[in-house]
Structure 1
Amino acid sequence: MTRLFTSNLSHIILFIGISIMVIPVWMIFASSTHTSSFINTHGLQFFLGDSFQENYLRVLLYKGGFFKEITALKMFLNSFIMATGVAMLSVVTSLMAAYALVYYRTKYATFLFWLIFITILVPLELRIFPTYSVMAKLNLVNSYFGLIVPISASAIATLFFRQFYRTVPDELLESAKLDGASTWRFFIDFLVPLSRTMIVAMFIFMFVFGYNQYLWPLLVTSSEQYWTVVMGLKMMSGSIVHRFAFVIMSMVPPIVIIIILQKHFIKGVFQDK
């Protein structure tokens, strides 16, 4: 009886927590399907209206910004390119950095690792102006490379990959050497497949990190053609229902990426077991 009560109580608490997170988002979505005059008169709505297509198409295709040069569709594309680039480059560099730290027995490997790890303690705001100066000298301002490269190095991802590599038995490396595998072949054919679960997890984490960036894109882009979704949330104008629609659409790309890659993440976990 006690066990049943505890189980029901846990589900009730879980349902309350989910409701607290989901209901406000649902009300914003439902309100975005009504007309502006209706929302201004009656406030937030819980039920859907009949202006969904009109409101969302207008937000996607309407040219906004200071010079009326950018659409929400272009912002979504910019954010997706930036987030994907940050995630891919971060995973690749972290994989290779961790591999070098663990399998190349250099004298200063531990020192180099802690030097990388200490960068976690340095906020982006402290290094943002020197980074911008470098990007300006390289003529990477107002470019996708300028958006992606400076925030792609991840000390946290390097830490996770390093700790994982340290759990790989040394016998695996010895067997690979006996089979004639080179250093690069051991990395590609053995370590990368073993790391697939963590690669997916780090990709999801870094995608969301890149997608949510605001300060760096704001500084490195002076052209509206490189505005991201988060910048659009701050700078867009229009009626309240159009802002609601923009907010809802801005949540879709990271949710879709998480849903798609979560399947591979869970599959990898069960395969590893």
Structure 2
Amino acid sequence: MVENRPFLNFLTHLVLILGIAMVVFPVYLAFIASTRGPSDFLTGVVPLTPGTQMIQNYGVLLGAGASNAGAPPFLLMLGNSLVMAILVAIGKIAISIISAFAIVYFRFPFRVVAFWIIFMTLMLPIEVRILPTYKVVADLGLLNSYSGLVIPVIASATATFLFRQFFLTVPEEMMEAARVDGAGALKFFWDILLPLSRTNIAALFIIMFIYGWNQYLWPMLITTEPRYYTVVMGIKRLAAVLEGDTQWNLVMAGVILAALPPVLVIIFMQRLFVKGLVETEK
């Protein structure tokens, strides 16, 4: 039985509220800045109430104003980031779940060695292997393309490991029963394992979507044409103007717009995301 201790309940809620405030307050300031003029935050006094230029700032950013401020059209960059994030998430899940299925349910030489080689790549992020990866992509003619943006970052040792651990918890009797019913390997995978992995897939989709959405170094390296710029690159270009003062109201408006898609994905998939992290369905 859990004891009712008012002081501990108060302390717990106080810590929770403080933690939420520390996370939300910078986002709130970014929103406030996106509703004010370009010089309001340069006076030394930080306003805490929304301004009157919200519609104007977002209209300028989503129109031709981003180009005038040193970045391609913002809607185009949002679309590029959305395409990259979705393809990266789907690709990582598809490759990882098939790899884990092969490692767990098929008997072939060096399958354990293959798994540990995949697992060891966790120690090699893209920043470490970026030069040879760029060389391969350039030789294949994938610079300035969606394929070049997605394919080099599409493999995931983390997702492979998580799917493998989940598949190991599935009772062997289930596979034997499917085999007795005449189900082959693909049918067992499609009709049984995939439905059981639904919550895990949802949790990993959110994580991988955010990973793809936040990519900056790799898109900056392989894209030289503005029509392939991502939204993170666009925000950097808005903040690093060559002439004149940085229009921080437009930069903050871009930050708010860039934060909306990941937030919406988390909100709509929250239930499956939590179940995928804390539950194991069988």
Query: What's the counterpart of residue 251 of structure 1?
Result: 259
Any residues of structure 2 matched to 1:141-152 within 5 Å, and which? 141-152=143-154
Query: What's the counterpart of residue 264 of structure 1?
Result: 272
Q: Post-superposition shift, 1:43? A: 3.5
Is 1:88 aligned with 2:96? Answer: no
Match of 1:167 among 166, 169, 174: 169
TM-score where L is the length of structure 2 = 0.90
Deviations 1:229-260 (A, max 9, x none): 11112112441111111111111111111111
Q: Quick check: which one's helix share is greater? A: 1
Any residues of structure 2 matched to 1:21-40 within 5 Å, and which? 21-40=23-42
**Following the alignment from structure 1 to structure 2, what is the Cα–Cα distance between the partners of residues 188 and 2?**
48
8 Å Cα contact 1:200-1:261 kept in structure 2: yes
8 Å Cα contact 1:31-1:46 kept in structure 2: no
Q: Post-superposition shift, 1:156? A: 0.3
Q: Structure 2: which 5+ residue stretches go unaligned?
A: none
Query: What is the Cα-based RMSD across aligned positions, in Å?
Result: 2.2
**SS of residue paired to 1:124:** coil
Q: Structure 1: which 5+ residue stretches go unaligned?
A: none
Query: What's the counterpart of residue 121 of structure 1?
Result: 123
Deviations 1:2-26 (A, max 9, x none): 7111011100010011111111211
Match of 1:109 among 83, 108, 111: 111
Identity of aligned residues (%): 43
**Following the alignment from structure 2 to structure 1, what is the Cα–Cα distance between the partners of residues 266 and 216?**
21
Letter in 1 for 2:76: K
**Following the alignment from structure 1 to structure 2, what is the Cα–Cα distance between the partners of residues 249 and 74?**
13
8 Å Cα contact 1:31-1:44 kept in structure 2: no
- 195-204 vs 67-76, greater mean Cα deviation: 67-76
Q: Post-superposition shift, 1:69? A: 7.3
- 32-41 vs 131-140, greater mean Cα deviation: 32-41
Deviations 1:131-173 (A, max 9, x none): 1121122211111111001101000000000000001000000
Which runs of 4 or more aligned residues in structure 1 lie more than 4 Å from their structure 2 counterparts after TM superposition?
63-69, 266-271
Name the count of aligned residue pairs: 273
Label 1:78 to 1:243 Cα distance change in 2 as closer, same or farther (>3 A).
same
